[in-house]
Chains A and B, each alone.
Chain A
Amino acid sequence: MNTNEIERFLDQACCGVGGSPELRRHLREELREHLTEEIERNVAGGLNREEAVHRAIEEFGDPVILRDGLQAVHGRRLMTLLIEKSMAWRETTMKTGWKWSFVAQATLLLTVIAEVFFAAAAVVYVLPGLSRWHRDLGTPTIAGLPTIEWLAHAMYMDWLWIPCLLLVLAGWGLFEWKCRGENKLVLRLAGLSMVSLAMFLVLAAVCVPIVIDLAMLPRQIDELRVNLSPQQAERVVVPRIGDGDDAFEDLRAAISRADWSAADLAAKQLSDAYSSLADASAGVILLAGETRRANLDEIRYRIDEIAEFSERIHHQFREFQYSGNKATEELKAKIQTHFEELDESRSKLADSSDLFGARGAPIVPEKPSL
């Protein structure tokens, strides 16, 4: 029995009929049973199997009429409906000529380019600026903002996005080269639409938190001004600077005494004090009376630098301890170098800020002798 022919016929008759999968399975079984019985009758009448199948299918009638009738009763499947609408739309667009299809494709392509541009601009320019504002003001950011900061890092990962871009371009080139079917235009439009939609989602994911954050920022600044007077801010900043100064003095003294564990502890305290300043209090410094905006960058830079140098010294002491407490000349030279750098940074910080110089204490220490 020519089973394939029967199954093809049933495919045509049942294609797109709505209802539950069980209903469609039963329908197919019912029609198959009808055909089988007709075939058996034909065979009994003297026809061979192949002829019997042909005759049964012929007697059965037009599968398209049957399908339309069944669809009228049970409805149509959504996917079939969508495909038919798409095909009808394709026919219409093909009739309207190449101009409209060109306009549609060019519009989608430009949309994708614009979305990439805006997403990149938001990540590269807006996001770092906004993060810096929060850092300066010591204000909390909304939950969504840090989660999209990885995008900023991803933008600089050439090894990641350049291969991805090349892969996409290669895929497109392959499609243009190999695809010769009549559906090429529809496929290209569908591909561009999907890319455009995906980029829109990325853009929304990037921009929505930024917009919300920007909307909240003025209120946060107002609250800061109300809640944190310059005098209060000074009470926050000055003890931290004092902690840093104390730790620096301890470090200098410990190095002079060659007391390496005390020096290690002092270096760690120094690093912590300046990290604390670097993390949140640049904005507090501003509110505490540091009105020279140009200097704020310098202050922030120097605070970061001091935290970095003290961390390096702490690291050198760690290496020193692991090497069996043998203070080699090389190690001493390294600590000396870092300490000089640290000393210089603190001098520049004191020069650049009235607030740091306001304590009156000599911030620039004498160079330690190892």
Chain B
Amino acid sequence: MDTELIKGTLALLILSLLKRRPMYGYELAATVKQETDGAFDWKAGSLYPCLHKLEKDGLVRAAWEGRPEGRQRKYYHLTRDGETVLAERIQAWSSISQAVNRVLENPHEHE
């Protein structure tokens, strides 16, 4: 799949996944890979810079949480600002996808 297209959706999908529940980096990548049937296979090179950018912008909040075996994971939580931005982006994405779909599905062009 076109990597530029994937990059454009990265922040949107991360925020969307975090709206369900707090997740850590590996979990985010694994979840999106599973739910897109492998279409989206986020590499660390794009996932972590995006997560840190969102954290820096205040859209997500990170917290280390311990596990019974002693290791710690860095969980990302969606903030109030993040929820607002997510709603705006979903709205924008919806408009864009509808517009794109209208063009793609125009029967006159396919004739």
Q: Determine the distance from Cα of A72 to Cα of B50 in the docked complex, in whole angstroms.
A: 10
Q: Determine the distance from Cα of A38 to Cα of B25 in the docked complex, in whole angstroms.
A: 11
Considering the complex, give the chain A residue whose CB is closest to the CB of B46: A69
Q: Which of A1-47 contact B (CB under 8 A)?
A: 13, 26-27, 29-31, 33-34, 36-38
> A62's contact among B45, B72, B73, by CB below 8 Å, is which?
B45
- Chain B contacts of A331 at CB under 8 A? none
Does the CB pair A70–B72 fall under 8 Å? Answer: no
Interface size for chain A: under 10, 10 to 19, 20 to 34, or 35 or more residues?
20 to 34
- Chain A contacts of B53 at CB under 8 A? 73
- Binary per-residue interface labels of chain B (44-76) against chain A in the complex, 1 for a CB within 8 Å, 0 otherwise: 111011101100100000001000000111100
> B49's contact among A29, A38, A59, A66, by CB below 8 Å, is which?
A66
Cβ of A74 within 8 Å of any chain B Cβ, yes or no, is yes
Cβ of B26 within 8 Å of any chain A Cβ, yes or no, is yes
Does the CB pair B72–A38 fall under 8 Å? Answer: no
Which DSSP category, helix, strand, loop or mixed, fits chain A's interface?
A: helix
- Chain B contacts of A70 at CB under 8 A? 48-49, 52
Does the CB pair B24–A33 fall under 8 Å? Answer: yes
**A37-B26, A61-B43, A73-B53 known; A30 and B71 CB under 8 Å?**
no
Cβ of A60 within 8 Å of any chain B Cβ, yes or no, is yes
Closest-CB distance, B82 to chain A (whole angstroms): 16
Q: Which of A148-190 contact B (CB under 8 A)?
A: none
Does the CB pair A36–B48 fall under 8 Å? Answer: no
Does the CB pair B48–A66 fall under 8 Å? Answer: yes
Q: Determine the distance from Cα of A63 to Cα of B24 in the docked complex, in whole angstroms.
A: 19
- Chain A contacts of B24 at CB under 8 A? 33
- Chain A contacts of B50 at CB under 8 A? 69
Q: Determine the distance from Cα of A36 to Cα of B53 in the docked complex, in whole angstroms.
A: 23
Q: Determine the distance from Cα of A349 to Cα of B74 in the docked complex, in whole angstroms.
A: 93
Residue of B44, B64, B72 most packed against chain A (CB within 10 A): B44
Considering the complex, give the chain B residue whose CB is closest to the CB of A37: B26
> A61's contact among B25, B26, B45, B56, by CB below 8 Å, is which?
B45
Q: Determine the distance from Cα of A26 to Cα of B53 in the docked complex, in whole angstroms.
A: 15
**A29-B72, A30-B25, A34-B25 known; A73 and B44 CB under 8 Å?**
no
- Chain A contacts of B73 at CB under 8 A? 33
Q: Determine the distance from Cα of A33 to Cα of B73 in the docked complex, in whole angstroms.
A: 7
Q: Determine the distance from Cα of A112 to Cα of B25 in the docked complex, in whole angstroms.
A: 56
Does the CB pair B71–A73 fall under 8 Å? Answer: no
Does the CB pair B71–A69 fall under 8 Å? Answer: no
Q: Determine the distance from Cα of A69 to Cα of B39 in the docked complex, in whole angstroms.
A: 22
Q: Determine the distance from Cα of A72 to Cα of B52 in the docked complex, in whole angstroms.
A: 10
Cβ of A65 within 8 Å of any chain B Cβ, yes or no, is yes
Residue of A31, A34, A63 most packed against chain B (CB within 10 A): A34
Does the CB pair B45–A65 fall under 8 Å? Answer: yes
- Chain B contacts of A37 at CB under 8 A? 26
Does the CB pair A73–B49 fall under 8 Å? Answer: yes
- Chain A contacts of B43 at CB under 8 A? 59-62, 65-66
Q: Determine the distance from Cα of A27 to Cα of B56 in the docked complex, in whole angstroms.
A: 13
> B44's contact among A36, A66, A72, by CB below 8 Å, is which?
A66
- Chain B contacts of A36 at CB under 8 A? 71
Considering the complex, give the chain B residue whose CB is closest to the CB of A72: B49
Closest-CB distance, A276 to chain B (whole angstroms): 76
Q: Determine the distance from Cα of A29 to Cα of B25 in the docked complex, in whole angstroms.
A: 12
> B45's contact among A33, A38, A66, A73, by CB below 8 Å, is which?
A66
Does the CB pair B49–A30 fall under 8 Å? Answer: no
Closest-CB distance, B48 to chain A (whole angstroms): 6
> B72's contact among A27, A33, A34, A60, by CB below 8 Å, is which?
A33
Considering the complex, give the chain A residue whose CB is closest to the CB of B25: A34
Considering the complex, give the chain B residue whose CB is closest to the CB of A61: B43
In the assembled complex, 15 residue pairs joining A and B whose CB atoms fall closer than 8 Å, in A order, are: A26-B64, A31-B44, A33-B71, A34-B25, A34-B26, A60-B43, A62-B45, A65-B46, A66-B43, A66-B44, A66-B45, A68-B45, A69-B50, A70-B49, A73-B53
Top 10 A-B pairs, shortest CB-CB distance? A69-B49, A61-B43, A65-B45, A66-B45, A61-B45, A34-B26, A73-B52, A30-B74, A37-B26, A60-B44
